[in-house]
Structure 1
Amino acid sequence: MRNVFSRFLIAVLLAAVQSAWAQIPTPKEHFGFNIGDDYQLANFTQTEAYWKKLASVSDRLKLTVIGKTAEGRDQYMLIVSSPENLKKLDRYKEISTKMARAEGVTEEQARAMAAEGKSIVWIDGGLHATEVVGIHQLIETIYNVVSRSDAENKRILDNVIILFTHANPDGQELVSDWYMREKDPVKRKNEGIPRLYQKYIGHDNNRDFFIQNQVESRNMGKQLFVEWIPQIMYNHHQRGPAGSILAGPPYRDPFNYVFDPMMVTGIDAVGAAMYNRLNAENKPGFTRLTGSSFSTWYNGGLRTTTHFHNMIGILTEIIGGPTPEPVPLVPERLIPNNNTPFPVTPQKTWHFKQSIDYSVSLNYSILDYAARNSDHLLYNIYVMGKNSIRRGSSDYWTPTPKRVDEINVAYKADQAKARPRTPESAAAGGAFRGGGGIPSKYYDDIFQAPAKRDPRGYIIPSDQADFPTAVKFINALVRTGIQIEKSKSAFTVAGKSYPAGSYIVKTAQAFRPHIIDMFEPQDYPNDFQYPGGPPIRPYDAAGWTLAFQMGVKFDRILESFDGPFEKMPYGTLQLAAGNVASGSAGYQIKASVNDAFIAVNDLLKAGADVYRLSDGTFYIPQSTKSKSVVEKSSKELGIQIGAVSKKPSGTMQKVAPLRVALWDTYGGSMPSGWVRWMLEQYHFPFNVVFAKEIDAADLRSKYDVIVFVTRAISAPSARDSVMNAMFASRGPKEEEVPEEFRSMIGTITASKSIPQLKKFMEAGGKIVTIGSSTGLAYHLGLPVRNAIAEVTKNGSNEPLPSEKFFIPGSLLNVSVDTTAKASWGMSAKTDVYFDNSPVFTVSPDAIAKGTIKPLAWFPNASPLRSGWAWGQAYLQGGVAAFEANVGKGKLYAFGPEITFRSQSHGTFKWLFNQLY
């Protein structure tokens, strides 16, 4: 009896020990506070330790590292589901990717896999690190899902595989440490953070996902578009419109015309589950549709790029933070309407915990929806994929506003020919009397004109001038899950011959919307507050066609085609085949190749001689130093390097590295961060310079070139002193900033900075200005003026109002003086990114005297290539870029955003050429 009792006691004690070991630690037990407590933030180091602790005790969680961040931290994705599902992850991943790609899957197979599979849901947090609700809701939600044992949680674990992803570990560490540095909680604030919360690009880390330049974007993109392809992804952000708690789905028009309608209605369905749950829990303040500015037009965001892959991408923007704040009174938001069915009333104090609670409810609403509709979600993404394959395999016309306009113009023209226009017919608007429409022949003849149908595919020839950059474009497609084919030998399509090594992208793929979006122009609708009123600005860009931005040459193929093509495995990055020709005197690299600048910078660093010929071609005399670098560059960069048997005749200019300074500011400039990243990628040595150093004089003794990105310098105005005071007041006081950051404080001013910059150029220095920083030309008194202006009734020259001229982020085509050294290697016709950018009229006398040399201009009245350009005719004849002599030095003014988000490879040479 005693032995039985002893065994029983041992069993009880073992069970108790096992129970204690398996106890899920609460956030408060780990962090020392509850997630959502006022004045408390967790940093990444603490969060990482907590997740490792959860992984060690929970059988519902698999902790995975998806890559390193820009600062070298591990980036985590926590896969959460039932223990049984976690044992079969490979199978469920296989089902998810097969259903999403829809290749060779029959209807019967799809139904069976939909029943067998589990819905895959992505939930992220922390992308914009100052939006601190994002990462903290992720911590709290993960704890809830791995610890709760109620029926809803069990249903979710049984039917859903959740991919909880940390979007920005570096930013969490920076922002939380900055906030928590104050010992007195009530003094804690996030204002005044000294640098960007992503090493290079800060907030633009949510504008990087169709090109994936940054490592965090690549880490997440691989999981989203290659490895898992979830049916739903939820991207948390802040902040909601004033007078609301949060903005969410469904979103305002326009949505992108390439989408499958099921993706759009899928957002509606998930959105309904979200706000219904909040309403049931008496959580008011959810606004949607035109209640906020968010749409589904743009590609490039963490959420928005998923839309082009048939995923139901969800965004919410919520208020709140660790420092309590009020919910302000906005009278027009008090009345319930379709935008805000359940308005929130004003509140004096809104606590962090309330935002966390809302966010957890929103997460559970999506997870519960996914659990109840797992088979539907899997089957629907399969149907969307099959729809895309069908559209890419047959004649199809993507509907766009321009095509509708063509129908209306043609119909009105025919009506005018058919009968004289009378006041009565004009009042009737020429409407078709047969039931409110017009004859369908206009649809058949115009909308479905054979020459205007969508391509069956695209061919990127391997013999184009800058093929390595074209391969970078191909890799952007690869990273977003697109199937790529490569020719094994020369071939002919539609009567044109193509060399071996060319790439083929066919549109009969599940992710056809993304393919079309990367190759074809976007056609943004004319969108105004009211007829004749001001335009409504797009959520981000209106047009961004990546192939245009990167200067990639391709052919659109309208008929089905095939050839000696090899399909590349999904996710397999490509490299152009480099070659070094043999020659006794030296090597040559064409100026048209962007990566030539990497090779040249490596050669200069190795001590090799480099020259430029009269057309910009790089000539490298053969030597032991040059040979090894040239061979390495050709192999690693895929550059075709020519050779010569004797030294080239004619004038040659020796290339020497210049002392380059790149402007930045306290808190960090995203455009400057992008350039900083670019210069590192292309191996240019440089220093970062701040306003204090510029104001301190003697710049010429330290630098040869200074680069100013957009928003560094503004055009002069009567309000200069007021604006300077405003900018100074927005920044932190010097005594509030740690000593190590005080040299970064300050702004470019007309009184102190401009005279020093003028002295710098007069002494032989070069200044490169981009975007609004071209306003320096006005400060210097150069003979240029704003080309987008009109003479008002009082005789003054004023910028055109937006009702007459409005071009938000779009691609325009300019003519380029390719003979100018500044433009060496550029195409005579080049696409530029234009965001209401500066355009100039240059004095003819200054051009005649050679004081100012136009580098690029708008040759006609319709330069729009992609996006929206209201009033574009005003651009005709305007100068987009110029160089000007200032003393012994030069000013280079580039109105368009020539380095825009490191996407605009086609205009990089306008910066690079000035750095030697």
Structure 2
Amino acid sequence: MMRKSKFIGLLFLWSVSVTTAIAQVPTPKEHFGFNIGDDYKLANYTQTEAYFKKLAASDRTKLVDIGLTEEGRHQYMLIISSPENIKKLDQYKNISQQLARAEGISETQAHSLSETGKAVVWIDGGLHATEVVGTHQLIETMWQLVSRNDAETMRILDNVIILCAHANPDGQELVSDWYMRDTDTAKRNMSIPRLYEKYVGHDNNRDFYMMNMKESQNISNQLFVEWLPQIMYNHHQRGPAGSVLAGPPYRDPFNYVYDPLIVTSIDAVGAAMNNRLNVEGKPGYTQRAGSQFSTWWNGGLRTTPYFHNMVGLLTEIIGGPTPENVPLVPDRLIPNGATPNPVVPQKWHFRQSIDYSVSLNYAVLDYAARYKSTLLYNIYQMGANAIARGNKDNWTFYPKYIDSIKAANKLSKKAEGNAESDGGADFSFGKEDTIPAKFYSTVLQAPGLRDARGYIIPANQADFPTAVRFINALIRSGISVQKATADFTINGIQYPAGSYIVKTAQAFRPHVIDMFEPQDHPNDFQYEGGPPIRPYDAAGWTLAFQMGVKFDRVLEGFDGPFEKLPYGQLQQAPVQTLAVSKTGYLLSPSANNSFIAVNDLLKAGIKVSKTNSGQFFIPATTKSQTVLLKVSTDYGVVAMPVQSKPSDLKALAPMRIAIWNNYGGSIPAGWISWLMEQYHFSYEFIYSSAIDAGNLRKKYDMIIFPGGAIPDTARKRPRAGGYEPKIPKASELPVEYRSWLGKITADTSIPQLKKFLEEGGQIVTIGTSTNLAYHLGLPVSNALVEKNNKNELKPLSGNKYYIPGSLLTADFDTTAIENAGMPSRNDVYFDRSPVFKINDNAVGIKKLIWFSTDRPLHSGWAWGQQYLKGVVAAFTANVGTGKLLAFGPEITFRGQSHSTFRLLFNQLYK
């Protein structure tokens, strides 16, 4: 009886302590004034940040400030687990790191650590701020995990460490304040005036191998350097019409560099999520071919973890504070493998989306709790597999190699005089065509087709500071990097001290290969001879190619005087010594940071000139040497002293630069504005209404039109791509935003742009905005057309020609001052980009970039690439006393294509 009484007393004291701890944390309604998921209600970030801090009072939590956003807000991550686990977070983080990196750990040790450790699961919200379910489900999930005491929650807290991260504080503040500003709920909307991430809006989910934005850096540091979770869950909107949400598993193709455990693990967790909803009577989950989402592309918050052996999850759900309807899509009502439990048309409320999201989070967390040792061991196993592959000869089965096998077999049959036959059968019933096994060894195991054992980035390349930026992108992504402490020689090639080495014998080998090697996207069509299936995002993106980094592939094991850099330790471009000169200095345009130096010199009132070859000359003065010394120290700028002043000099001055923008924000314009700031150019935004008002030449020397600005001559709107909000009426907007409305029109805007050019202004057009050349009536035409049966010129059909985002190798006129600093051949980012034919006898037009071969593809997918042979990708044209520059490829693509930045920078001086 005494024992029972003592037990009851202890139980009472425990329940009092739990109740007291929970009482310290207000419910969402007590804090926000409404329940999360109430119709017509949104919380802003100021309120959410305060709630993060109140939740931090619980002994189940630890609040971590992971860094500042681009607008200077604090970005928080709330760690949730049992009180006992919270006390030992450093121990469990260390176990997670050891297992994920798989360095120097035996299988026995890995099993032991997997039993001792806790599963680590990342759950985020709010990356795309107008997708408001994301932030609000995160708030509700955190509250439930902190306050609930049911058996499932307690098991989760005992076995899982949950990282609840806010992905976009700035965006939540903007969107929620905008939505809630109107007291009339019927008028509340998401038609925000500008991008919800300061520079790049929707493309903040396209930045996770480059990590240009502060938010991307903060998140990546937690994912790939600090915590290395086994599962990460990225919440988004919106599900395909006629469904509630799209989730894992995803459609093919998946990337060939993954460990197969990634693919099957996504299947397993996806099944748990789908099952949970079905058990709870929540229909409408679609997967695989039921949606557009695949696992091919790198660069998204959900997809980059795949290349780090993490189970990346994405759901895209419907819903918002304004109730909506689930539409009737008849074909979605038929149950199938993609949508086994269809949803019927109905009115849909915000709270339903919150409830679905919390259920999905609990499904993931329950899976992690039940299989925590398996998850921990599996991430080790994938890392160990990667290290083993990097330490021996390995061949990745890319489609191009499989095609080579088929071609070799066909050639062999032809040589032997054997005719090919399909046997006359309509169906194979599982019997596949076979090829003699000899072709496997002669083609797929050819020594030259082996994966690299490592890559060497020489320190003596022309633009080494950009190579260091590339290295830092790898380091931010948790890649192990080595640095040479002395000169060394590999395969007869001498390399200087300070060169970087990235070996593939490391856990995140898939990411290493993906950043250095070409992507080989399969030919993907709806059916043979039919239209192509558009990739979810890019088909090819190899970062080393985009940045113009010079590197050598090493196919054998190698070593040298290398020091291994600590994980996460960022590098700086080497400080350059400024030699004494009495005459002056030359800066090369082939180094991007030279433009920082030029801009800083001009802003300091120092004279800068340019030679006919595009080099910059700076006279030697005390003032110029002070600026040059600073940029040589801070940015690794090489200033070459000269003994005599060049004779072919033209004085430079900064231009008055405008970048076109629109209401809601242009993502390409945002990227360019960020880029301009990084390289110290001054600019301002210009909107279509200001263009229509005229007098442009009095205000500007240069106007930049990113893709999506200038409409096609045959259409009212260009293909802009990305998120494009509904445009409100002027009367619905605060006065300060009304001048942002409008679009470029043929009747009003184009005549003003023509006048601007004729009066000596200059215009750079990129991507679809090269349509301006057609509006101006310049003697150029679309190079990708053919005559139909009516003898009419029509664009090539998709089953003949289709090139989604890929890297193509182009030719450059190195004598053109516009191309100063470019090599004769270089990769360009090409996404169904415009290409041109310059009419015979055209005057005042000069081609800058073209394709000289019928196989320009370097990375990605290019169906029908032979049509590009001989066509022009960029040109310059005189218009009056001004100049139009037309660049079909995306020369500033997402702040990644460093090797083509100078194609813009060269034009920005007068």
1:898–1:910 contact (8 Å) kept in structure 2: yes
Say if 1:728 and 1:546 are closer, same or farther in 2 by CA, change over 3 A: closer
Using the alignment, how far apart are the partners of 1:17 and 1:107 within structure 2?
Answer: 40
User: How far did 1:426 drift?
Assistant: 8.2
Query: 2:546 corresponds to which residue?
Result: 549
Quick check: 1:736 aligned with 2:732?
yes
User: How far did 1:185 drift?
Assistant: 2.0
Quick check: 1:806 aligned with 2:802?
yes
Query: 2:5 corresponds to which residue?
Result: none
Query: 1:51 corresponds to which residue?
Result: 52
Query: 1:910 corresponds to which residue?
Result: 903
1:43–1:177 contact (8 Å) kept in structure 2: yes
Using the alignment, how far apart are the partners of 2:149 and 2:591 within structure 1?
Answer: 60
Alignment of 1:298-377 (within 5 A): 298-347=297-346, 349-377=347-375
Using the alignment, how far apart are the partners of 2:168 and 2:807 within structure 1?
Answer: 30
1:728–1:746 contact (8 Å) kept in structure 2: no
Give the letter aligned to residue 166 of structure 2. H
Quick check: 1:687 aligned with 2:687?
no
Say if 1:425 and 1:27 are closer, same or farther in 2 by CA, change over 3 A: closer
Quick check: 1:699 aligned with 2:696?
yes
User: How far did 1:186 drift?
Assistant: 2.8
Using the alignment, how far apart are the partners of 1:453 and 1:151 within structure 2?
Answer: 51
User: How far did 1:428 drift?
Assistant: 7.6
TM-score for both structures, normalised by structure 2: 0.96
Using the alignment, how far apart are the partners of 2:557 and 2:18 within structure 1?
Answer: 67
Say if 1:590 and 1:729 are closer, same or farther in 2 by CA, change over 3 A: closer
Task: Point out where structure 1 has 5 or more consecutive residues left out of the alignment.
Answer: 1-7
Query: 1:258 corresponds to which residue?
Result: 257
Aligned equivalent of 2:513, options 516, 520, 523: 516
Say if 1:16 and 1:558 are closer, same or farther in 2 by CA, change over 3 A: closer
User: How far did 1:18 drift?
Assistant: 8.6
User: How far did 1:696 drift?
Assistant: 0.6
Alignment of 1:451-466 (within 5 A): 451-466=448-463
**Could you give the per-residue CA deviations for residues 735-767 of structure 1, whole angstroms, max 9, x where no partner exists?**
101101111111000000000000001000000
**Could you give the per-residue CA deviations for residues 232-288 of structure 1, whole angstroms, max 9, x where no partner exists?**
000000011111110000000000000000011111111111111111101111000
Using the alignment, how far apart are the partners of 1:825 and 1:445 within structure 2?
Answer: 42
Using the alignment, how far apart are the partners of 1:456 and 1:640 within structure 2?
Answer: 32
User: How far did 1:16 drift?
Assistant: 9.7
Using the alignment, how far apart are the partners of 1:118 and 1:183 within structure 2?
Answer: 47
Using the alignment, how far apart are the partners of 2:657 and 2:17 within structure 1?
Answer: 67
Three-state SS of the structure 2 residue aligned to 1:308 is helix
Three-state SS of the structure 2 residue aligned to 1:570 is coil
Quick check: 1:897 aligned with 2:898?
no
Using the alignment, how far apart are the partners of 2:180 and 2:105 within structure 1?
Answer: 53
Three-state SS of the structure 2 residue aligned to 1:508 is coil
Three-state SS of the structure 2 residue aligned to 1:807 is coil
1:584–1:646 contact (8 Å) kept in structure 2: no
Query: 1:272 corresponds to which residue?
Result: 271
Three-state SS of the structure 1 residue aligned to 2:907 is helix
Say if 1:892 and 1:292 are closer, same or farther in 2 by CA, change over 3 A: same
User: How far did 1:19 drift?
Assistant: 2.8
Q: Which of structure 1's runs of 4+ aligned residues deviate more than 6 A?
A: 14-18, 721-724
Query: 1:214 corresponds to which residue?
Result: 213
Using the alignment, how far apart are the partners of 2:583 and 2:380 within structure 1?
Answer: 59
Give the letter aligned to residue 900 of structure 2. T
Alignment of 1:413-452 (within 5 A): 413-421=411-419, 436-452=433-449
Using the alignment, how far apart are the partners of 1:523 and 1:489 within structure 2?
Answer: 36
Quick check: 1:835 aligned with 2:828?
no
Alignment of 1:843-854 (within 5 A): 843-846=839-842, 849=843, 851-854=844-847
Query: 1:63 corresponds to which residue?
Result: 63
TM-score for both structures, normalised by structure 1: 0.95
Three-state SS of the structure 1 residue aligned to 2:368 is helix
**Could you give the per-residue CA deviations for residues 81-132 of structure 1, whole angstroms, max 9, x where no partner exists?**
1111111111100000110000001111111110110000000000000000
Three-state SS of the structure 2 residue aligned to 1:563 is coil
After TM superposition, the structure 1 stretch with the greater mean CA deviation from structure 2, 573-582 or 598-607, is: 573-582
Three-state SS of the structure 1 residue aligned to 2:847 is strand
Alignment of 1:10-29 (within 5 A): 19=20, 22-29=23-30
Three-state SS of the structure 1 residue aligned to 2:124 is strand
Using the alignment, how far apart are the partners of 1:442 and 1:629 within structure 2?
Answer: 62
Alignment of 1:116-515 (within 5 A): 116-190=116-190, 192-347=191-346, 349-421=347-419, 436-515=433-512
2:22–2:147 contact (8 Å) kept in structure 1: no
Using the alignment, how far apart are the partners of 2:97 and 2:119 within structure 1?
Answer: 11
Give the letter aligned to residue 595 of structure 1. N
1:728–1:747 contact (8 Å) kept in structure 2: no
Using the alignment, how far apart are the partners of 1:722 and 1:888 within structure 2?
Answer: 28
Task: Point out where structure 2 has 5 or more consecutive residues left out of the alignment.
Answer: 1-8
Using the alignment, how far apart are the partners of 1:420 and 1:144 within structure 2?
Answer: 70
1:247–1:317 contact (8 Å) kept in structure 2: yes
Query: 1:3 corresponds to which residue?
Result: none
Say if 1:604 and 1:527 are closer, same or farther in 2 by CA, change over 3 A: same
Query: 1:577 corresponds to which residue?
Result: 574
**Could you give the per-residue CA deviations for residues 527-585 of structure 1, whole angstroms, max 9, x where no partner exists?**
11111000000000000000010011111100001111111111011112132222221
Give the letter aligned to residue 748 of structure 2. K
Equivalenced residues, count: 893
Using the alignment, how far apart are the partners of 2:305 and 2:906 within structure 1?
Answer: 37
After TM superposition, the structure 1 stretch with the greater mean CA deviation from structure 2, 874-883 or 413-422, is: 413-422
User: How far did 1:24 drift?
Assistant: 2.7
Three-state SS of the structure 1 residue aligned to 2:628 is helix
Query: 1:33 corresponds to which residue?
Result: 34
1:715–1:774 contact (8 Å) kept in structure 2: no
Say if 1:425 and 1:185 are closer, same or farther in 2 by CA, change over 3 A: closer
Query: 1:672 corresponds to which residue?
Result: 669
Three-state SS of the structure 2 residue aligned to 1:459 is strand
1:80–1:157 contact (8 Å) kept in structure 2: yes
Give the letter aligned to residue 574 of structure 2. A
Q: CA RMSD in A?
A: 2.1
Using the alignment, how far apart are the partners of 2:548 and 2:411 within structure 1?
Answer: 38
User: How far did 1:15 drift?
Assistant: 6.9
**Could you give the per-residue CA deviations for residues 587-612 of structure 1, whole angstroms, max 9, x where no partner exists?**
22111000100111011111111111
User: How far did 1:316 drift?
Assistant: 0.3
Quick check: 1:772 aligned with 2:768?
yes
Using the alignment, how far apart are the partners of 1:435 and 1:351 within structure 2?
Answer: 50
**Could you give the per-residue CA deviations for residues 801-845 of structure 1, whole angstroms, max 9, x where no partner exists?**
111110000000100011111100011111000010000000231
Say if 1:161 and 1:556 are closer, same or farther in 2 by CA, change over 3 A: same
2:659–2:685 contact (8 Å) kept in structure 1: yes
Query: 1:591 corresponds to which residue?
Result: 589
1:691–1:746 contact (8 Å) kept in structure 2: yes
Give the letter aligned to residue 315 of structure 2. T
Three-state SS of the structure 2 residue aligned to 1:221 is helix
Query: 2:651 corresponds to which residue?
Result: 654
Quick check: 1:795 aligned with 2:795?
no
Three-state SS of the structure 2 residue aligned to 1:662 is strand
Give the letter aligned to residue 766 of structure 2. I
Aligned equivalent of 1:529, options 522, 526, 529: 526
Three-state SS of the structure 2 residue aligned to 1:845 is coil
Give the letter aligned to residue 388 of structure 1. A
Using the alignment, how far apart are the partners of 1:106 and 1:722 within structure 2?
Answer: 57
User: How far did 1:682 drift?
Assistant: 0.5
Query: 1:83 corresponds to which residue?
Result: 83
Work out the percentage of aligned pairs sharing the same amino acid.
64
Quick check: 1:872 aligned with 2:868?
no
Three-state SS of the structure 2 residue aligned to 1:915 is coil
1:80–1:164 contact (8 Å) kept in structure 2: yes
Say if 1:25 and 1:844 are closer, same or farther in 2 by CA, change over 3 A: same
Query: 1:4 corresponds to which residue?
Result: none
Using the alignment, how far apart are the partners of 1:23 and 1:831 within structure 2?
Answer: 58
2:711–2:718 contact (8 Å) kept in structure 1: no
